[in-house]
Amino acid sequence: MKIWDPLHECMPREDLEQLQLERLQFTLNRVYKNVMHYRKKFNELGIIPEDFQSLADLKKLPFTTKEDLGIDYPYGFFAVPLREVVRIHSSSGISTKPIVVGYTRNDVRMWSNLVARIMTAAGVTRDDLVQIAFRYGLFTGAFGLHYGAETIGASVIPTSTGNTERQIMIMQDYKTTVLVCTPSYALILADRIKELGIDPKSLSLKTGLFGGEPWSEAMRSTIESGLCPTATDNYGLSEVIGPGVAGECLCKDGMHIFEDAFIPEIIDPATGEALPPGSTGELVLTSLTKEAFPMIRYRTRDITSLDYGSCKCGRTMVRMKKTQGRTDDMIIVKGVNVYPSQVDEILFSIQQEHAPYQMTLTRKGALDILEIRIEVTSKIFSLVMKSQRAFVEQVKKRVKSVIGIDIDVSLVEPGSLRRQEGNIVKVVDQRQE
C-alpha cells in the first residue's frame, strides 16, 4: 500500500506533537495579528499567542462556531489581504448568507497534497482515470478532489453531477477506474446499472472515494457489490479546508486525520468539556497550516470518536470513526447524550432492516423516560409472539449496553407513528410540554 507523504503520515507521535506545537504558534500569531474576531477573544481572555507553550494550552481558547463565521460577512475571517487569495469557495451558513472561505497559493498546494494523501490511501495512482461526479462550483468537493487527483498525476474526468446515463456511458467508454461522488449518488448509479442490465464487473472501476455526507456500512456493502469493488469514506468541511481532512486507507477501519495539518478534539456537545480518548462526541478541529482562512477550535457539529491505536497500513495518524450524525439531532436523556443514529444502528444490527421508529421522551417527577416505539414491519410481524417479546428485550438490552440507559420499548401498528411530510418524526420530546 503506497503512502503519499510517508514523512508526515507515518511520523512518530513525539515528533508530530512538536511539529503541531510549532505550527499552532504560527497559526495563533497569524490570527491574532490579522483577524479581528480572534484578537478580540484573546484580549478578552488577557492572553497573547506567546502564552501558548504546550498543545494542552489550546483548551484555553474559546470555540469557533458557524454562527461566529457569519460575523463580518464575507471576508471578516480572512487572515491575508485579498490580493494574496487565489481561490474562493463557500458553504451554507446559519443565515441566508453563505460562509465564504479563501485560499492562498500555498493553501491550494497544501490542500491538493492532503487530498492526494486520501486518494493514495484509497488506492489511487497516476495510472488511474478518475471520474469526478461532484458538482463543480462554489462547493469545495469537486475542486478539492480534482486538484488532489492531478497532484498524483492521475487523469481527471470532470463529469460533474447529473445525467446518470451519460455518467455510465463515460464510465464504460473511457474506462474509468476511480469514481468520486456522494455515497447516495453511488447508490443511484448502482441502481441504474442494474436496470440497464450492465454487469458491474464489466466496468473498469477498482476503487471509489465517497464523501460529502454520512453513510453506513450497509451502504458500503451495497456499493461494493453493485458498482465499485472498493468503496472508501473520506471527511472534510469547507470551513476547515474542504475534503482532505481525513480519509480511509484500504483497511477501511476509520479515517486517518492528517494531524500535521489539523488538531482534532472530541468534546461533549452539551457542556463543551473535552472527553477522554475513545469517547463519542463532537469533533472540533484547529487548522495548523492554513494562511488565508485559519480556523481555531471549530465546532464541526459532527459526531464521531477517535482511535489512537496503530493501523496496519503504517500511518501513525489518528483515525476517526464514520460520522454518526450531527449534534443538532442530539437529545439528552438522564444526562446521557443520545443520537437517533445510534438507535438506527442498534435496530439495524438486530433486525437487518430499517424499522420505522420514534423516540418519545417524557418526565416522571425528576426522571426522564425514553420510549422507543417501533412500527411492526412484515419482518417483525412474522415473528411469533414470544419472539416479538424477545425482540423487545433485545432492543432494551442493546440500548443499555451501547448507550448506557434503561428505556421502554413498544411495538405499534404500521403507519401509526406521527409523520411530517411523509417522514416519521424521530424525536418527540414531551418533557417541556
User: Which residues contact Zn ion (rule: CB under 5 A)?
Assistant: 249, 251, 311, 313, 315
To Zn ion, the closest distance from the beta carbon of 319 in angstroms equals 7
Is the Cβ of residue 257 or residue 346 nearer to Zn ion in the bound state? 257
Count the Cβ atoms, other than its own, within 10 Å of residue 44: 9
Q: Map grid coordinates 464523501 to a residue.
A: 211
Rounded to whole angstroms, the Cα distance separating 252 from 257 reads: 13
To Zn ion, the closest distance from the beta carbon of 311 in angstroms equals 3
DSSP one-letter code for 92 = -
Is the Cβ of residue 3 or residue 218 nearer to Zn ion in the bound state? 3
Cα 420 to Cα 50, 146, 268, 344, distances in angstroms:
53, 39, 30, 19
Bridge partners for 208 per DSSP: 179, 231
Q: Do the Cβ atoms of 50 and 58 come closer than 8 Å?
A: no
User: What would the grid cell of residue 196 be?
Assistant: 440497464
Beta strands in 23-107 (DSSP E): 85-91, 99-104
**Who's near 84: CB < 8 A, 6+ residues apart?**
104, 105, 291, 292
- Upstream peptide bond of 74 is cis (omega within 30 degrees of 0): yes
Is the Cβ of residue 7 or residue 384 nearer to Zn ion in the bound state? 7
To Zn ion, the closest distance from the beta carbon of 141 in angstroms equals 23
To Zn ion, the closest distance from the beta carbon of 252 in angstroms equals 9
To Zn ion, the closest distance from the beta carbon of 253 in angstroms equals 7
DSSP one-letter code for 268 = -
Q: Do the Cβ atoms of 106 and 85 come closer than 8 Å?
A: no
To Zn ion, the closest distance from the beta carbon of 144 in angstroms equals 21
To Zn ion, the closest distance from the beta carbon of 314 in angstroms equals 7
Is the Cβ of residue 88 or residue 251 nearer to Zn ion in the bound state? 251
To Zn ion, the closest distance from the beta carbon of 274 in angstroms equals 25
Q: Map grid coordinates 465517497 to a residue.
A: 210
Is the Cβ of residue 171 or residue 306 nearer to Zn ion in the bound state? 306
User: What would the grid cell of residue 235 be?
Assistant: 471527511
Bridge partners for 37 per DSSP: none
